[in-house]
């Protein structure tokens, strides 16, 4: 059985969220007192006022107040009580105007009172429906989060378990290759080297998958991050790659944001790495800019690389999806999926503006917590 005060106006069982609201509602003795006080004051005034003038119109305030408790029975009860008091005073009021006038006035005022009640009732219904919908949405969200976490945990466990046998296979392939060096024909040597490079590819897929599944915490532990320092560290780590490609990286003054510095570093690293990886014949030029938005920051990483077919613009953010222009480039298709996950964990979104042959600009937003 529901404990007293823990059912909604429809008598349904309350979820924990609704229960909190109900508990808050039940802590509203002030409203109950106000309803009773208003009714008592109006009753007294009505009893003292001679027939012909009646202050009972004020009873309409009572259902408006009573609804604040969120209890349907209380609102009905108070409206009924006010109706009763209106008519009891008919017999108690001092003489004045003719009796039919009092009956007429009290009938009109009773009508107005119940009209106010109907409006209040409809509002209660609408609020209740809204609460149910929010609850359904919240439950769905929870379920989605739970299944995403399960999926991450599965990917993480699977990647961990594959790592060991993969490392052993790689080591054995290397051993075989070194033992047979010079003793096998060219075809066999090529196949062996193919096996080694496929093992290497599988290794990088597993590592990327592990990285992807590692990021699943929200911003509850967020700290103030200096994006300028984060980008500097990332560029330092990519120094060899940048120098080898004669890449030029420039950036606007970058802000401090609330977030996870490791995740943000991975985000910048993946985007800058891609800008180099998918370079065109021209000297790679990468610019990181930022713009303040109403509820956060919008960062943009612009390059002059090979560009992306607009038809691929959404697909490439999904795990293991690679663009048309990446056939000859090594990769697992997990980089942008990881970026998307990180951005979403920071309350933002990521998208790309590009066309084949004319560079790409990756935009992402970081919301204020």
Q: What residues make contact with ligand ADP under the rule CB under 6 A?
A: 270, 274-275, 278, 303, 305-308, 316, 322-323, 325-326, 331-337, 360
Q: Name the residue among 48, 46, 52, 57 with its Cα closest to residue 98.
A: 52
CA distance 50 to 90: 10
Whichever of 174 and 248 has its CB closer to ligand ADP, that residue is: 248
Minimum separation from the CB atom of position 332 to ligand ADP (A):
5
Give the side-chain half-sphere CA count within 13 A for 110.
Answer: 16
Minimum separation from the CB atom of position 348 to ligand ADP (A):
17
Whichever of 107 and 204 has its CB closer to ligand ADP, that residue is: 204
Whichever of 70 and 305 has its CB closer to ligand ADP, that residue is: 305
Place of tokens 């915490």: 217
CA angle 142, 145, 147 (to 5 degrees): 110
What is the DSSP code string of 54-103?
A: -GGGGGGHHHHHHGGGT-HHHHHHHHHHHHHHHHHHHHHSPS-S-HHHHH
Minimum separation from the CB atom of position 243 to ligand ADP (A):
19
Minimum separation from the CB atom of position 342 to ligand ADP (A):
12
Whichever of 54 and 360 has its CB closer to ligand ADP, that residue is: 360
Whichever of 7 and 274 has its CB closer to ligand ADP, that residue is: 274
Whichever of 123 and 330 has its CB closer to ligand ADP, that residue is: 330
Minimum separation from the CB atom of position 279 to ligand ADP (A):
8
**DSSP H or E run through 226:** strand 223-226
What does the block give as tokens for 194?
A: 């193919």
Minimum separation from the CB atom of position 303 to ligand ADP (A):
5
What does the block give as tokens for 41?
A: 């004051």
Minimum separation from the CB atom of position 180 to ligand ADP (A):
32
Whichever of 227 and 271 has its CB closer to ligand ADP, that residue is: 271
| Helix axis angle, 16-26 to 99-180, nearest 10° | 150
Is 209 buried (19+), middle (13-18) or exposed (0-12) by CB count in 10 A? Answer: buried
Q: Name the residue among 216, 242, 220, 222 with its Cα closest to residue 231.
A: 242
């Amino acid at each position: 059985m529901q404990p007293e005060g823990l059912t909604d106006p429809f008598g349904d069982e309350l979820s924990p969220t609704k229960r909190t609201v109900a508990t808050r509602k039940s802590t509203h003795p002030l409203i109950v007192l106000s309803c009773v006080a208003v009714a008592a004051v109006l009753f007294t005034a009505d009893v003292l006022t001679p027939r012909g003038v009646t202050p009972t119109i004020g009873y309409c305030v009572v259902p408006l107040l009573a609804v604040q408790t969120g209890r349907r029975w209380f609102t009905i009860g108070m409206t009924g009580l006010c109706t009763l008091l209106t008519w009891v005073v008919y017999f108690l009021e001092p003489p004045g105007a003719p009796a039919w006038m009092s009956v007429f006035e009290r009938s009109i005022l009773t009508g107005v009172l119940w009209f106010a009640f109907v409006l209040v009732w409809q509002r209660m219904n609408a609020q209740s429906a809204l609460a149910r919908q929010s609850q359904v949405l919240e439950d769905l969200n929870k379920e989605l989060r739970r299944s995403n976490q399960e999926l991450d945990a599965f990917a993480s466990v699977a990647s961990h378990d594959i790592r060991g046998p993969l490392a052993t296979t790689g080591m054995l392939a290397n051993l075989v290759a070194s033992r047979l060096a010079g003793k096998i024909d060219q075809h066999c040597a090529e196949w062996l080297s193919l096996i080694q490079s496929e093992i290497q590819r599988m290794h990088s897929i597993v590592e990327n998958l592990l990285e992807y599944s590692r990021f699943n915490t929200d911003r509850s532990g967020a700290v103030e991050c200096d994006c300028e320092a984060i980008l500097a560290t990332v560029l330092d780590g990519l120094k060899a790659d940048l120098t080898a490609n004669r890449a030029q990286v420039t950036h606007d003054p970058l802000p401090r944001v609330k977030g996870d510095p490791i995740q943000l570093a991975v985000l910048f690293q993946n985007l800058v790495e891609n800008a180099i990886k998918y370079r065109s014949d021209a000297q790679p030029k990468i610019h990181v800019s930022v713009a303040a938005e109403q509820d956060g920051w919008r960062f943009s990483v612009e390059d002059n690389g090979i560009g992306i077919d607009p038809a691929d613009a959404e697909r490439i953010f999904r795990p293991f999806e690679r663009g048309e222009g990446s056939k000859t480039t090594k990769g697992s298709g997990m980089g942008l999926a990881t970026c998307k996950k990180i951005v979403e964990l920071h309350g933002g979104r990521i998208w790309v503006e590009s066309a084949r042959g004319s560079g790409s600009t990756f935009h992402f937003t970081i919301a204020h917590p």
